[in-house]
Amino acid sequence: MLCDNISVNGKGHLCFARQDVVTLAEKYGTPLYIMDEDKVREKCAIYKKALTEAFGNGSFPLYASKALSCKQIYRIMKDENMGIDVVSPGEIYTASEAGFPMARAFFHGNNKTDADIRFAMDRGVGVFVCDGEDELLAIDKAAAEKGIKQRVMLRLTPGIDPHTHAKISTGKVDSKFGAGIETGQAASLVATALGHKNIELCGYHCHIGSQIFEISPFISAADIMLGFSAGIKKTLGYEAEMLNLGGGMGVRYTEEQPQIDYARNISGIAAEIKEKCASLGLKVPKILMEPGRSIVADAGLTVYEAGSIKQIPGFKNYVSIDGGMTDNPRYALYEAPYTVCLANRMEDKKDFPCTVAGRCCESGDLIQEGVLLPKPKRGDLVAVFTTGAYNYSMASNYNRVGRPAMVFLRGGDSYVAVRRESFEDIARNDI
Ligand X SMILES: *Cc1c(COP(=O)(O)O)cnc(C)c1O
Residues at the interface with ligand X (CB under 6 A): 64, 66-67, 85, 108, 207, 210, 246-248, 290-294
DSSP 289: B
Q: What are the start-end ranges of the E strands in 206-299? A: 242-244, 286-288
Residue 10 or 258: the one with the smaller Cβ distance to ligand X is 258
CA distance 38 to 251: 17
Active site residue 277: no
Question: Is the preceding peptide bond at 31 cis, omega within 30 degrees of 0?
Answer: yes
Residue type, 293: R
CB of 206 to ligand X, least distance (A): 9
What Rg value do the Cα atoms of the chain yield, rounded?
A: 23
**Please, are residues 327 and 31 in contact by the beta-carbon 8 Å criterion?**
yes
**Nearest CB to ligand X, comparing residues 247 and 300:** 247
- Which amino acid type is present at position 350? K
Comparison of 86 and 357: residue with beta carbon closer to ligand X = 86
Output helix, strand, coil percentages for the chain, rounded to the nearest 5. Answer: 35, 25, 40
Distance CA 402, CA 405 (A): 9
Cβ nearer to ligand X, comparing 61 with 402? 61
Closest CA to 269 of 213, 224, 222, 207: 222
- Min dist CB 58 to ligand X, Å, is 19
Q: How far is the CB of 183 from ligand X (least distance, A)?
A: 20
Catalytic residue (choose from 3, 44, 202, 361): 361
Q: Which residues pair with 293 in a beta bridge?
A: none
CA distance 302 to 305: 10
Residue whose C-alpha is closest to residue 220's, from 140, 175, 277, 159: 159
Least Å distance, CB 316 to ligand X, is 32
Write the CB contacts of 219 (distance below 8 Å, at least 6 apart in sequence): 268, 269, 272
User: Please, which residue, 59 or 210, has the CB nearer to ligand X?
Assistant: 210
User: Residue 158 or residue 291: which is nearer to ligand X going by CB?
Assistant: 291
Q: Which residues participate in catalysis according to the annotation?
A: 361
